[in-house]
């Protein structure tokens, strides 16, 4: 696999960063994951806006202009042998003598790779997926897409340990998101999405879903969702760049929402597929 590191395209085995890189030492960096359908990045401008927002949030100057990002992203895509990809882009504060305070002269480390986009199976789309629930124990800037992901890693492992695909998180009695997905619910025919505040990542797929709902005439509202409402919802969905939109049909080991994807999900799935550059064929 060919990756990009600080101006060079290299085989992944030859890409090297310093052990003093602040990404390694402090998790001091941000990232993006951009889905690519048939070699065309999906919602690239929106991903670059979010990247800028994350960089601003950690007070790190953007090392590239948008045209430069786009050129590198397209080059990385072109160098892979597969068509549907997930481009992973990471910027850290660079290598410097270990000290918590920002180094005055470090050069940001820019890394990019692209993996095959995970294929969603018919079973996942038509049967839904299992989730577990847990307390959201992360920090108070979950709106920044930082590489400091330990809270998310621990939450995700909990799902894996229990044979589920995601862990849905609650903080102070309210739904936030899942370890690597946003969570939306449907109640009495209305989609309800938690607000994009500091407690959740402003998902590009979350935005895509609500835009599709608006354009497709599906009623929705954005407001806090209590744990009680989420657990009694008619439908619950996960949204992310790699999952698109998936329905939750098992929660904490018990059938949820009738144990099959609901009617609003099925309509959203249809809208989402028709909005993509070209439909991915499920395995
Ligand atoms: C914590 C978290 N929330 C939400 C999302 C969904 O964001 P997007 O739709 O931009 O992939 C992700 C994506 O990886 C995530 O890590």
- CATH assignment at residue 67: 3.30.470.10
For residues 114 and 1, give the distance between their C-alpha atoms in angstroms, rounded to a whole number. 8
Backbone dihedral region for residue 217 (phi beyond 0: left; psi -120 to 50: alpha; all else: beta): left
In the reported structure, the alpha carbon of residue 182 is separated from the centroid of ligand 1 by a whole-number distance in angstroms of 6
Q: Examine the domain organization and report whether 127 and 244 are in the same domain.
A: yes
- Given a contact cutoff of 8 angstroms between Cβ atoms, the answer to whether 142 and 177 are in contact is yes
Q: Examine the domain organization and report whether 92 and 144 are in the same domain.
A: no
Atom of ligand 1 nearest to the CA of 47: 10
- How many structural domains does the chain have? 2
Q: Examine the domain organization and report whether 146 and 221 are in the same domain.
A: yes
For residues 283 and 155, give the distance between their C-alpha atoms in angstroms, rounded to a whole number. 27
In the reported structure, the alpha carbon of residue 240 is separated from the centroid of ligand 1 by a whole-number distance in angstroms of 5
Asked whether residue 103 is assigned to any structural domain, the reply reads: yes
145 is catalytic: yes
Cβ 30 under 6 angstroms from ligand 1: no
Among residues 145, 196, 254, 276, which one is catalytic? 145
Q: Within a 13 Å sphere around the CA of 231, how many CA atoms are in the beta-carbon half?
A: 13
Asked whether residue 133 is assigned to any structural domain, the reply reads: yes
Asked whether residue 69 is assigned to any structural domain, the reply reads: yes
Q: What pLDDT score does 277 carry?
A: 79
Q: Examine the domain organization and report whether 112 and 167 are in the same domain.
A: no
Q: Examine the domain organization and report whether 144 and 257 are in the same domain.
A: yes
Cβ 152 under 6 angstroms from ligand 1: yes
Instruction: Using the 3D structure, point to which of 58, 84, 116 is the last residue of a domain.
Output: 116
Asked whether residue 280 is assigned to any structural domain, the reply reads: no
Q: Examine the domain organization and report whether 239 and 187 are in the same domain.
A: yes
Cβ 177 under 6 angstroms from ligand 1: yes
Whose CA is closest to atom 3 on ligand 1?
Answer: 181
In the reported structure, the alpha carbon of residue 26 is separated from the centroid of ligand 1 by a whole-number distance in angstroms of 21
Structural domain that includes position 156: 122-275
Cβ 205 under 6 angstroms from ligand 1: yes
Q: Examine the domain organization and report whether 134 and 264 are in the same domain.
A: yes
Atom of ligand 1 nearest to the CA of 206: 9
Asked whether residue 281 is assigned to any structural domain, the reply reads: no
Cβ 203 under 6 angstroms from ligand 1: yes
Atom of ligand 1 nearest to the CA of 35: 11
Q: Examine the domain organization and report whether 127 and 262 are in the same domain.
A: yes
Q: Examine the domain organization and report whether 238 and 152 are in the same domain.
A: yes
- Cα angle, residue 107 at apex, residues 23 and 10 outer, rounded to 5°: 75
Backbone dihedral region for residue 216 (phi beyond 0: left; psi -120 to 50: alpha; all else: beta): alpha
Whose CA is closest to atom 14 on ligand 1?
Answer: 180
Asked whether residue 282 is assigned to any structural domain, the reply reads: no
Q: Is the pTM of this model over 0.95?
A: yes
Supply 108's token pair: 């940001």
DSSP bridge pairs for 170: 135, 175
Supply 268's token pair: 């959203």
Other Cβ atoms within 10 Å of 264 Cβ, number: 23
- What is the best residue among 202, 203, 268 to mutate for testing ligand 1's pocket, by most ligand atoms within 8 Å of CB? 203
Asked whether residue 13 is assigned to any structural domain, the reply reads: yes
Looking at residue 211, which CATH number applies to its domain?
3.20.10.10
Q: Examine the domain organization and report whether 253 and 143 are in the same domain.
A: yes
The closest alpha carbon to 133, from 224, 240, 250, belongs to: 250
Instruction: Using the 3D structure, point to which of 116, 146, 178 is the last residue of a domain.
Output: 116
Cβ 33 under 6 angstroms from ligand 1: yes
Whose CA is closest to atom 13 on ligand 1?
Answer: 180
Instruction: Using the 3D structure, point to which of 98, 116, 134 is the last residue of a domain.
Output: 116
Q: Examine the domain organization and report whether 100 and 143 are in the same domain.
A: no
Q: What pLDDT score does 268 carry?
A: 98
For residues 86 and 117, give the distance between their C-alpha atoms in angstroms, rounded to a whole number. 5
**Helix 44-57 × helix 204-216 angle, to 10°:** 130
In the reported structure, the alpha carbon of residue 246 is separated from the centroid of ligand 1 by a whole-number distance in angstroms of 13
Asked whether residue 189 is assigned to any structural domain, the reply reads: yes
Strand, coil or helix: 190: strand
In the reported structure, the alpha carbon of residue 83 is separated from the centroid of ligand 1 by a whole-number distance in angstroms of 22
Q: Examine the domain organization and report whether 15 and 29 are in the same domain.
A: yes
pLDDT 10s per residue in the chain (283 long)?
A: 999 999 999 999 999 999 999 999 999 999 999 999 999 999 999 999 999 999 999 999 999 999 999 999 999 999 999 999 999 999 999 999 999 999 999 999 999 999 999 999 999 999 999 999 999 999 999 999 999 999 999 999 999 999 999 999 999 999 999 999 999 999 999 999 999 999 999 999 999 999 999 999 999 999 999 999 999 999 999 999 999 999 999 999 999 999 999 999 999 999 999 998 765 556 6
């Amino acid at each position: 696999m060919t990756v990009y590191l600080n101006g060079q395209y290299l085989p992944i085995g030859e890409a090297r960063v310093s052990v003093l890189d602040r990404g390694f030492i402090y998790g001091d960096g941000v990232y993006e994951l951009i889905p690519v359908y048939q070699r065309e990045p999906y919602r690239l401008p929106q991903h670059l806006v979010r990247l800028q927002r994350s960089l601003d949030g950690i007070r790190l100057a953007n090392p590239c202009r948008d045209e430069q990002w786009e050129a590198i992203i397209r080059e990385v895509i072109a160098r892979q042998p597969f068509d549907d990809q997930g481009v992973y882009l990471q910027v850290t504060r660079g290598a410097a003598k270990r000290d918590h305070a920002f180094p005055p002269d470090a050069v940001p480390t820019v890394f990019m790779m692209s993996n095959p986009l995970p294929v969603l199976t018919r079973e996942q789309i038509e049967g839904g997926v299992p989730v577990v629930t847990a307390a959201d124990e992360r920090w108070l800037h979950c709106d920044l897409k930082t590489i400091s992901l330990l809270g998310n890693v621990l939450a995700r492992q909990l799902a894996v340990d229990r044979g589920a695909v995601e862990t849905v998180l609650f903080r102070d009695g309210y739904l936030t998101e899942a370890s690597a997905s946003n969570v939306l619910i449907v109640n009495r025919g209305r989609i309800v999405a938690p607000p994009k505040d500091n407690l959740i990542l402003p998902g590009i797929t979350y935005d895509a879903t609500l835009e599709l709902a608006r354009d497709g005439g599906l009623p929705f509202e954005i407001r806090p969702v209590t744990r009680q409402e989420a657990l009694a919802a008619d439908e619950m969905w996960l949204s992310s760049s790699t999952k698109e939109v998936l329905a939750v049909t098992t929660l904490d080991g018990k059938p949820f929402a009738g144990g099959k994807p609901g009617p609003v999900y099925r309509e959203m799935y249809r809208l989402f597929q028709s909005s993509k550059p070209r439909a991915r064929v499920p395995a």
